[in-house]
Amino acid sequence: MALALTAEEQAIASGGRGEGAAAAMRIVAESARLLAAPRLIPIASAHIDGALYHGDSGTLFAERLVEGGAQVAVRSTLNVGALDLMGCSRVRLEEPQRGMARRMMEAYRKLGCEQSWTCTPYQAGHRPAFGSDVAWGESNAVVFCNSVLGARTNRYGDFLDIACAIAGRAPDYGLHRAENRRARLVFNVSALPPAFLASEIAWPVLGSLYGRETGTAIGVVAGIATHPGEDVLKAFGAAAASSGAVGLFHIAGVTPEAPDVETALGHVAPERTIKVTSQMIATAQRGLSTAAHAETIDAVAIGSPHLSLAEFERLERLIAGRKLAVPIHACTGRHVVSELDKTARRKALEACGVVVVADTCVVVTPILGKLPNGVLMTNSGKFAHYAPGNTGYAVLYGSLADCVESAVTGKPVFTDSAA
């Protein structure tokens, strides 16, 4: 079916609102044509992942939009950049890349995007309404937006995210359409011990396994008795979206499009049921570590996705004022830093040896010390997935409590690992 643009869309694409808006509308329309979408649909908001510096061409593109007078047409928050603009941590990005990364962040500000610089916009006040169409980037934000908020987005990558924000439109395709949101398979965890499901390490491990098992298919998790809380769903979704191409999951009795398994499946028999066993969990958990036999660790990294204020409160209680032998890099957004700074809590954490990282994170820009055989411990399934490739560090996966004890002694401590 050929793409049909409205008269207004055509007028914008021909320059009726300036060359920047025209370029954005043409990019959205060309993408829609490649996706075989029949039309464009209006969007309510955007979350922009494109302001992370990968090379000069991305900076030049953003600046071209600015020169063309483009402005975002809907509320648009920004995902992490390559620099810590708050000055909490030191980013070892050299010139000329550093200058180009700064120019890129500045261009997105000029386009009218909010300076949120976080991968958890949904915990920084950007929560689109259930059923609304939005254009979000960053895989964990996309999966949270679809699954937990019930707003509708595809995985919008670099360039298309900002083009949709400026055009105020997105291709009518994929997860925007109700018929594409129902679960096709069941991920049944009811055979797992309740004590494991209640533990902190359960959800990133489950997410990692879920992503690997389902790939791009939409599944519904069955066998969860109580709502585990938003920070836990955040960790599950992030792990699932890094091990597979997960854009939407359902959890029966927990997420808004899944009051029960049958409704999530659209009252159609599942194409496949995955019965999760303790052995599958043990294998998935081992797979999150690449340095299982390490005797010492060099650093801890937490906050992928960015830490919430509640997660900082747990961190403070676990450290309890002790001095750390190796640093804990705690990645978060400025929405949390401003809360911490109200009562000098950041300074107190820093005095113990915590490095607060704002606006960015340790796997997208060089922050960790250069160590050829470094070992990084983390409680994040997403950090565990990306740290070896992006930082060169081997990883150890453990609970937050174990990460803190390990940082205090400099040696891996495992007390919560029983799966």
Partner 1 sequence: MSERAEILVPGSSGEGEALVLTQPISFWGGVDPKTGRIADVRHPEHGQCIAGRVLFLPGTIGSSSASAVLLELVHNGHAPAALVLHEPDAILLLGLIVAREMAWQGPIAIRLDRSAFEKFEGRNVQVAANGTISLPN
What is the contact surface with partner 1 in residues (CB under 8 A)? Answer: 23, 26-27, 30-31, 34-35, 49-50, 54-58, 60-61, 64, 137, 139, 155-160, 245, 389
At 359, give phi and psi (nearest 5°): 70, -10
Query: What type of residue sits at position 163?
Result: A
Give 335 or 385: the residue with its C-beta nearer to partner 1.
385
Residue 35 vs 309, nearer CB to partner 1:
35
Task: Compute, in degrees rounded to 10, the torsion defined by CA atoms 118, 122, 124, 127.
Answer: 140
Q: Using the minimum distance from each CB to partner 1, give the nearer residue, 157 or 256.
A: 157
Contact between 403 and 315 under an 8 Å Cβ cutoff? The reply is no
For the bound state, the minimum distance from the C-beta of residue 19 to partner 1, rounded and expressed in Å, comes to: 10
CB of 121 to partner 1, least distance (A): 16
Query: How far apart, in Å, are the Cα atoms of 257 and each of 130, 237, 249?
Result: 9, 16, 9
CB of 74 to partner 1, least distance (A): 20
Say if residues 45 and 149 touch (Cβ distance below 8 Å): no
Give me the least distance between CB of 50 and partner 1, in Å please. 8
CB contact at 8 A, 44 and 128: yes
> Strands, DSSP E only, in 196-289?
219-222, 250-251, 272-275
Q: Which is nearer to partner 1, 283 or 390 (CB)?
A: 390
Least distance CB 157 / partner 1 (angstroms)? 3
Place of tokens 């937990």: 148
From the CB of 139, what's the least distance to partner 1, in Å? 7
| Cα–Cα distance, 206 to 334 (Å, whole number) | 29
Answer whether 365's CB lies under 8 Å from 335's CB.
no
The stretches of 16-175 forming alpha helices (DSSP H) are 19-34, 56-67, 97-110, 139-144, 160-167
| Smallest gap from residue 173 Cβ to partner 1 (A) | 9
Measured distance CA(169)–CA(53) in Å, rounded: 25
Neighbours of 110 (CB within 10 A): 14
Whichever of 174 and 353 has its CB closer to partner 1, that residue is: 174
Helix axes 160-167, 19-34, angle to 10 degrees: 120
CB of 34 to partner 1, least distance (A): 4
- Closest CB to partner 1 among residues 136, 249: 136
For partner 1, give the closer residue by CB, 55 or 194.
55
Q: Which two tokens stand for residue 247?
A: 């854009």
For partner 1, the closer of residues 56 and 339 by Cβ is 56
